[in-house]
Amino acid sequence: MVEMYFIYAYCLLALSDVFVYGDRTIGAIIDDASFVTEAVFHLGIQAASDDEENPFVANVIKTSPGDLIEAENAVCTLIESNVLGILGPSSGGTLKHVQVTADYLEIPQIISEPVSSQNRDWSAVNLYPHHMAFSQVFADIIEMKGWNEFTIIYEGAEFLPFLDNILNIEDIDADEHILISVIQLPDGEDFRSQLKTIKSSGSVNYLVSCSLKVLPLFLEQAQQVGIMSDDHSYIITNPDFQTLDIDPYKHGGSNITGIRFFDPELEDIKNFVTSINDKVKELSENQIETAIDENGLYFNIALVYDAIILYTSAIKSMGLSEGANITCDDEESWNFGSSIVNHLRTMETDGLTGPIKFDEDGFRSDFEIDVLEVMSHGLEKIGAWSLEDGFVEMRKIIPVVEEDATDSMKGKHFIILTALSAPYGMLKESSKKLEGNDRYEGFGIEIIEELAKMNEFNYTFEIQEDGVYGSLDSKTQKWNGMMEKIIDGRADFAITDLTITSARQKAVDFTSPFMNLGITILYKKPTKQPPDLFSFISPFSYQVWGWLAGAYVGVSVLLFILGRLAPEEWQNPYPCIAEPETLDNQFTLANSFWFTLGSVLTQGSEIAPIAVSTRMAGSMWWFFTLIMVSSYTANLAAFLTVESKFYAIKSVSDLANNPYDITYGAKKGGATFGFFKESDNLLYQKMYLYMESHPELMTQTNDIGLERVKSDKEKYAFLMESTSIEYMVERNCDVAQVGGLLDSKGYGIAMKKNSPYRQPMSESILQLQEQGKITRMKDKWWKEKRGGGACADDDASSGDAQPLVLANVGGVFIVLVAGSGLAVICAFIEMIFDVWMISRKEKVPFLEELKAELLFILSFSGDVKPVRHRESSGSKGSKESKEKEREIDEELPGDEDDRLDPAPTPHSERSSHSRHTSHSRRQSNAVQMAKMRKFT
Ligand code: GLU
C-alpha cells in the first residue's frame, strides 16, 4: 500500500509538469427522464469548479433507458470530446455495456448503483457500499435482535450478494440453531401466495431485500395477509427506507427496522434538496416545480454528488487539465484513467453519504449508517453501525404515555377470524377476482368495518375453514377451533355467530353482545289438517264454552228467583176479575231456562219479563248473547276459511317425548349442544343424553342441519339459535321456528384474555346499537340481501285461526254479572216496596208481611200466589165479583178441583197458600179466557 501511494505521488509530480491548462470536461450519459441525476451532476460540477481557474465543464448526453446503441454512441461521442470521466448511465444493461468500453479505454466511469460484481481493476468509481460490508450491517442487527429464526425475502438474484454475511450468521450457541429460510418474490405485483406460505411456515421474523418499487407493495400485501401484527418483525435492507411512507404501518404493532446513510433533517441535506429542485426547474424550463420532497432524496442521487466531488477532487489534486485524447476506435487506452481511479481510492472525505474512504481492495467497506425503527410517532434512530464498532444501540428511553382506550387500537393491524356462516360471514358473489378482505361480506364483516372506522385500525380477515367455533375438551382441557386460535394469539379477534358462554368467557374476553338470541327448534312447517266434523266447537275455547254454560244456568236460575221476588211478575191470571184470589208467575224454572235458551239461540220466546228487575236481567242476557253470538259467528268464519294445521311438535317437551318418532340434533361442539350438556333441567338432560348417544344426528354446520330438516327422507328437527333460524325461515319457506326460546344469550367478539381492546370495542358496539346501525344492518342482511323476504307472502296467508279464550270475551261476562247484580237489587227494592204497600193497605205490620212474603218466596212452591184480603176491607163490588166467580166455577162441570178458595181470613190466608194443583197451573190462558167470555 505504501508503495502504491509513492507511485501516485510520483505520477502527480510528473503530471503537473506535463499538462497545460485546457478543458476539463466530465461527461454524463443520462437515461433518467426526471432531470434529477442531470441536476445533481451539474451541481457537482459547479461545486467542484468554485474558485477554480480552470473550471470543470459538464457534457451531458441523454439516452433512452436500456438502449445499448444510444449508450454506445454516447460514450464514444463523450470520449471524442476528451472527457476526464463519464457518469452513468444508470440502467443495468447499458451500464455494463458502457463499462466494457470505458474499461477498455481506461476512461473512469462514475456509477452509483449496487454493482456487486465490481472488480477492483475496473476503471469504475463506485461509492456504493461493498456488498460484504453491507450484508454485515444486517447480520449485526439480526444478532442484536436475537432472532433464532427468520425468513429472507428477496426480489431478484442481484440482491443475493448483499445477503452474503447474513446467510453465514452463526448459531447462537451449540444448543440453539438459527433457522434461516429464503424465499424469492415472484415477478409481477402479487406476492400474496408467497406471503401466505411464509405465514403458514410459522416464521415471524423477516429480512426483506427488494427495490424501492416493490417494497410498498410487499408491505401492503404482508398487512393484507396478516403478518404485520405485534408478533412480527421486519428488517428492510433498502438504503432508501426512510423515503417510504410508513403511515400505514406506524401503529400496526409489528417491529420494522431499516437503515439510512444520511439524516434528511440535516441543514446540508435540506440545502442540497433545495438546490436539486431549483436546478431541475431550470433544466426542465420550469416544467417541474418540485422534483423531490424533503424526505425524498435517494441514496444513489446523493452518491452521484459525492462521487463527482470526490472524482473532481482527485483530478484537481492530480493537476490534470484535460481529458483523454482518444477515440473509441483507438487501440490504445488512456494512460491516466486508472491513475485517477487509484489516486481517488487513497483519498478520504466527508460526503453527503457520510465519511468516504476505501479499503485496501478499493471498495467502500467502511461507512457509517443510522439504524432506524418505525414507531407510532414516526421513524426513530435506535442505533448506528460502523465497520469498526459494529452495531451500537442508542435507543432512547421514551416515557410511556398512557394511551387513551381508542388510541390503543389506532393504526394497528389485526387478524380477524371469521367463519363462512351466513349471514355473519359470506364469500362475495362477484364476476371479478377479489383479493384480501374484499372477498367477504356479511353482518359480522360489516360490524368489523364499522368498528375499524371508529377505532382507526386495520385488519385482515382469516377464515376458520372447518367452521369449528370452539369447545373445551374435558380430558385434555384444550380448546379447539376459533377459540384455540384466539388463546394462542394466532388471531386477534373472532367474529361470527359466536355465542358468549360461561366456559368460553373463562378462556377469552368477549365484547358486549352485539345480538341477543335463544335456543329454539327448526322444523318443517306444519302440514294441512283434514277438516274436522266438530269444527263448530273451535271458535270458543273449552274454557269459554264452560263459562257460557255456567252463565246460562246462572242467569236462568236468577230469572227464576227474580221472578219470584219481583211483585210485578205475579200477575192476575184473569184480567177481567179485578180482585183475583191468586196471582200467577210466568218465570217458573222451566220457563226461565226456556227464555234464556231462546235468546242464546236467537229465536226468542213468548215469555216477556214485566218487572224492572227481570227486564234488567233479561236485557243483560240479551246483550251478552248478542256479543257472544257475534264473536262466535266471526270466529267460525275464520276457522272455516283458514286451513287448520297439524303440528307434529309444538315445544321441546314434544320433541323429548317424541310421539311421532322425530329425531333431533344440534351443531357439533356448539353452544346449543353445550347448553343441553350443562343444564340441570331433567328434560334437557334427557335430550342431551339422546344427542350424545346419537352422534350421527349432530351436524358440522347449521346449513347441514337445515338441509336435514328440509329433507323428505327423515323427520329431523334441529336445535338452533333463534337469530340463525330467523335468517333461514326468511329464505326457506318449508321450514319454521317451533316453540319459544329455551334460554337467552348473546353473540360477542372474542379476543385474548385481558385484552386492552375489549373496552374500546365494547364501547363502539354499544354506540352502534344506540345509533340503530346494528338494527339496520340486521334488517339488511336478514330481510333484504341474498334472497331475504322470499317467504313473506307465505307467512301472511298462513295466519292461524285461534279459538277465543276467556281473555277475549271476559268483559261481556263481567257486564252480565254486574247487570244481574243490579237486577237482584232492583227486585228486592220492588218486593219491599210492594210489601210495604200491602202492609199499609191491609193494615198489617210491615215486618210480619215481609216475613210472610219471604217465606212464600223462599218456599219455591209453585207459581201461584194467593192474594190476601181482609174481610172488613172487602167492598161491595168485590163481594159481587166473588159471587160471580163462584157462579162461573159452579157452571163449569168437572172443574171442582180448580175452584178458587173462598176468601180466607188474613191469618188463614197467610198460613194456607194456594191449594191449586199443578193441573190447575197448567190450564192455559185460552181456557181461562173462554171462562171469562162465558161469564160476561
Ligand atoms: N353459536 C354457536 C356457537 O357459538 C354455534 C351454533 C349453535 O350451537 O347452535 O358455538
- Give the model confidence (pLDDT) of 352-405 as tens digits: 888 888 887 778 888 888 998 988 778 888 888 888 888 887 765 444 444 555
> What is the per-residue pLDDT across 683-721, written as a single tens digit (0 to 9) for each?
999 999 999 999 999 999 999 999 999 999 999 999 999
pLDDT band at 522 (very low <50, low <70, confident <90, very high): very high
* Range in 453-467, 485-499, 762-776, 784-798 with the lowest mean pLDDT: 784-798
* Residue 320, pLDDT score: 76
Nearest atom in ligand 1 to 498's CA? 4
pLDDT band at 524 (very low <50, low <70, confident <90, very high): very high
Write the residue with the smallest CA distance to atom 8 of ligand 1. 670
* Residue 71, pLDDT score: 84
Nearest atom in ligand 1 to 672's CA? 8
pLDDT band at 658 (very low <50, low <70, confident <90, very high): confident
Write the residue with the smallest CA distance to atom 6 of ligand 1. 670
* Residue 7, pLDDT score: 44
> What is the per-residue pLDDT across 139-169, written as a single tens digit (0 to 9) for each?
888 888 888 889 999 998 888 888 888 887 7
pLDDT band at 921 (very low <50, low <70, confident <90, very high): very low
> What is the per-residue pLDDT across 163-184, written as a single tens digit (0 to 9) for each?
888 887 776 555 667 888 889 9
Determine phi and psi for 229, rounding to 5 degrees.
-105, -175
735 CA from centroid of ligand 1 (Å)? 19
Amino acid letter for position 550: G
Contacts of 440 (CB under 8 A, 6+ apart): 418, 425, 426, 427, 428, 461, 463
* Residue 292, pLDDT score: 82
Nearest atom in ligand 1 to 470's CA? 10
What average pLDDT does this structure show over 237-246? 89
729 CA from centroid of ligand 1 (Å)? 18
Nearest atom in ligand 1 to 469's CA? 10
Mean pLDDT of the chain: 82
Prediction pTM value: 0.49
Residue 502 burial class via C-beta count within 10 angstroms: exposed 0-12, middle 13-18, buried 19 and up: exposed
721 CA from centroid of ligand 1 (Å)? 7
pLDDT band at 229 (very low <50, low <70, confident <90, very high): confident
670 CA from centroid of ligand 1 (Å)? 4
* Residue 547, pLDDT score: 94
* Residue 122, pLDDT score: 63
515 CA from centroid of ligand 1 (Å)? 13
Burial 162-185 (b: 16+ CB within 10 A, else e): bbebbeebeeeeeeeeeebeebbb
- What Rg value do the Cα atoms of the chain yield, rounded? 55
Give yes or no for a cis peptide into 423 (omega within 30° of 0).
yes
794 CA from centroid of ligand 1 (Å)? 28
447 CA from centroid of ligand 1 (Å)? 19
In the chain, pLDDT over 70 holds for what percent of residues? 86
pLDDT band at 119 (very low <50, low <70, confident <90, very high): low
Nearest atom in ligand 1 to 497's CA? 1
833 CA from centroid of ligand 1 (Å)? 78
Nearest atom in ligand 1 to 471's CA? 10
And the C-alpha cell for 430?
Answer: 362477484
> Cβ distance 884 to 862 under 8 Å?
no
Contacts of 908 (CB under 8 A, 6+ apart): none
* Angle made by CA atoms 427, 430, 431, in degrees to the nearest 5: 140
* Residue 893, pLDDT score: 45
Distance of CA 932 to CAs 575, 674, 925, 929, Å?
9, 92, 10, 5
* Residue 407, pLDDT score: 57
Q: Which residues are registered as beta bridge partners of 385?
A: 369, 391
Distance of CA 354 to CAs 46, 138, 757, Å?
21, 18, 44
Nearest C-alpha neighbor of 254 from the set 224, 217, 227, 216 = 227
What average pLDDT does this structure show over 74-79? 85
485 CA from centroid of ligand 1 (Å)? 17
* Residue 648, pLDDT score: 83
* Residue 69, pLDDT score: 85
Q: Is the pLDDT of residue 918 over 70?
A: no
497 CA from centroid of ligand 1 (Å)? 7
Q: Classify residue 55 as left (phi > 0), alpha (psi -120 to 50) or beta.
A: beta
> Cβ distance 439 to 430 under 8 Å?
no
Instruction: For a ligand 1 pocket test, name from 667, 723, 724, 728 the mutation site with the most ligand atoms within 8 angstroms of its C-beta.
Output: 667
pLDDT higher at 521 or 85? 521
Half-sphere exposure of 97 (CA within 13 A, CB side): 19
* Range in 564-573, 677-686, 803-812, 854-863 with the lowest mean pLDDT: 854-863
pLDDT band at 17 (very low <50, low <70, confident <90, very high): very low
Write the residue with the smallest CA distance to atom 5 of ligand 1. 670
SS3 call for 464:
coil
Residues with a CB atom less than 6 Å from ligand 1: 469, 497-499, 666-667, 670-672, 720-721
Q: Classify residue 882 as left (phi > 0), alpha (psi -120 to 50) or beta.
A: alpha
Nearest C-alpha neighbor of 902 from the set 932, 875, 923, 882 = 882
* Residue 282, pLDDT score: 86
Measured CA to CA, the distance from residue 229 to residue 222 in angstroms comes to: 10
End-to-end CA distance of the chain: 173
pLDDT band at 116 (very low <50, low <70, confident <90, very high): low
Instruction: For a ligand 1 pocket test, name from 721, 723, 726, 744 the mutation site with the most ligand atoms within 8 angstroms of its C-beta.
Output: 721
Give the DSSP per-residue string, 61-98.
EE--TT-HHHHHHHHHHHHHTTEEEEE---SHHHHHHH
* Residue 911, pLDDT score: 32
And the C-alpha cell for 587?
Answer: 218465570
Other beta carbons within 10 Å of 672: 25
pLDDT band at 65 (very low <50, low <70, confident <90, very high): confident
474 CA from centroid of ligand 1 (Å)? 18
What average pLDDT does this structure show over 812-840? 89
* Residue 398, pLDDT score: 45
> What is the per-residue pLDDT across 365-374, written as a single tens digit (0 to 9) for each?
888 889 989 8
Nearest atom in ligand 1 to 719's CA? 9
SS3 call for 287:
coil
> What is the per-residue pLDDT across 894-912, written as a single tens digit (0 to 9) for each?
443 333 333 333 333 333 3
pLDDT higher at 377 or 442? 442
DSSP alpha helices (H): ranges in 798-911?
Answer: 806-841, 846-859, 876-891, 906-911
Crossing angle between the packed helical segments 806-841 and 542-565, to the nearest 10 degrees = 10
Nearest C-alpha neighbor of 801 from the set 632, 653, 664, 678 = 632
* Residue 549, pLDDT score: 95
What average pLDDT does this structure show over 433-444? 92
Nearest C-alpha neighbor of 458 from the set 753, 221, 243 = 221
569 CA from centroid of ligand 1 (Å)? 74
Nearest C-alpha neighbor of 866 from the set 570, 583, 561 = 583
* Range in 8-22, 65-79, 263-277, 763-777 with the lowest mean pLDDT: 8-22
Instruction: For a ligand 1 pocket test, name from 479, 497, 516, 725 the mutation site with the most ligand atoms within 8 angstroms of its C-beta.
Output: 497
Extended beta strands in 630-788, E state: 645-646, 663-665, 716-721, 735-738, 745-747, 750-752
SS3 call for 257:
strand
Q: Is the pLDDT of residue 726 over 50?
A: yes
Other beta carbons within 10 Å of 564: 23
Measured CA to CA, the distance from residue 3 to residue 703 in angstroms comes to: 86
Residue 491 burial class via C-beta count within 10 angstroms: exposed 0-12, middle 13-18, buried 19 and up: buried
Amino acid letter for position 586: Q
And the C-alpha cell for 163?
Answer: 445477503
Distance of CA 490 to CAs 9, 416, 462, 505, Å?
66, 10, 10, 18
Measured CA to CA, the distance from residue 453 to residue 448 in angstroms comes to: 8
Positive or negative torsion for Cα 577, 580, 581, 583: positive
pLDDT band at 93 (very low <50, low <70, confident <90, very high): confident
Measured CA to CA, the distance from residue 20 to residue 11 in angstroms comes to: 16
What average pLDDT does this structure show over 585-596? 89
Other beta carbons within 10 Å of 266: 11
Nearest C-alpha neighbor of 292 from the set 307, 283, 282, 280 = 280
> Cβ distance 59 to 45 under 8 Å?
no
495 CA from centroid of ligand 1 (Å)? 12
Nearest C-alpha neighbor of 350 from the set 599, 33, 127, 57 = 127
Instruction: For a ligand 1 pocket test, name from 417, 471, 499 the mutation site with the most ligand atoms within 8 angstroms of its C-beta.
Output: 499
And the C-alpha cell for 177?
Answer: 440453531
Residue 592 burial class via C-beta count within 10 angstroms: exposed 0-12, middle 13-18, buried 19 and up: buried
681 CA from centroid of ligand 1 (Å)? 20
